[in-house]
Amino acid sequence: MRVKTKLSRSIPMPKAVLNVPSAEPKDIRWFYDKYAAMLLGYINGIVQDHRKSEDHLISILTSFTAEFGAQERSQLSIWLELRQYAQSKLALVSEKNHSLSPAPVSSNRNLDLLDDLQKQIFCAVYYHGKSLSHLATTLGSEEDEIRNQLKLSIDKMRRNRGN
């Protein structure tokens, strides 16, 4: 069985999904048929690696159907919940794979000017693409404080360069 995408490509249904007996109308096969193409596109946009995206797709669909499969909801509601569920699962994976430390850079003198908090915030925003609201939550601070620390770090580096 294959799932058609908008680009008329098809995604083969993994054997793990095919081997699940169809017990209810909204079993894992139903979720896979209905949402796999959209969810794979969403995950691939975040992960940027097609092979890893497919692995995440299977684990997310499997765990989502185990936790939420029997509840009755509209299809729009299911898609929104599935996307939010995927986002939370991918955030956990992302946090495990990336710390908020600097990316490997060969001796960056500008970073050496910053205190630890400023360095952590600057690197998280510019090297790891974290949002200020995410950092505020992660670091247990107000978003305005994070924004001020980021501005101070940029100002320090500019002054050092003579800008």
Report the candidate in 89, 76, 79, 91 with the shortest Cα–Cα distance to residue 129.
91
Question: Which residues neighbour 122 within 8 Å (Cβ) at sequence distance 6 or greater?
Answer: 111, 114, 150, 153, 154
Kindly report, as residue ranges, where domains of CATH 1.10.10.10 are found in the chain.
Answer: 109-161
Q: Which residues pair with residue 2 across a beta bridge?
A: 12
- How would CATH label the architecture of 109-161? Orthogonal Bundle (1.10)
DSSP letters spanning 104-139: S-S--HHHHTS-HHHHHHHHHHHTT---HHHHHHHH
Count Cβ atoms within 10 A of the Cβ of residue 15 and give its class: 0-12 exposed, 13-18 middle, 19 or more buried.
exposed
Residue with tokens 């994976």: 93
Average predicted confidence (pLDDT) for the chain: 76
Average of pLDDT values for 58-86? Answer: 81
Is the pLDDT score of 15 beyond 60?
Answer: no
146-43-28 Cα angle (round to 5):
130
Provide the pLDDT confidence category of residue 112 given band limits of 50, 70 and 90: confident
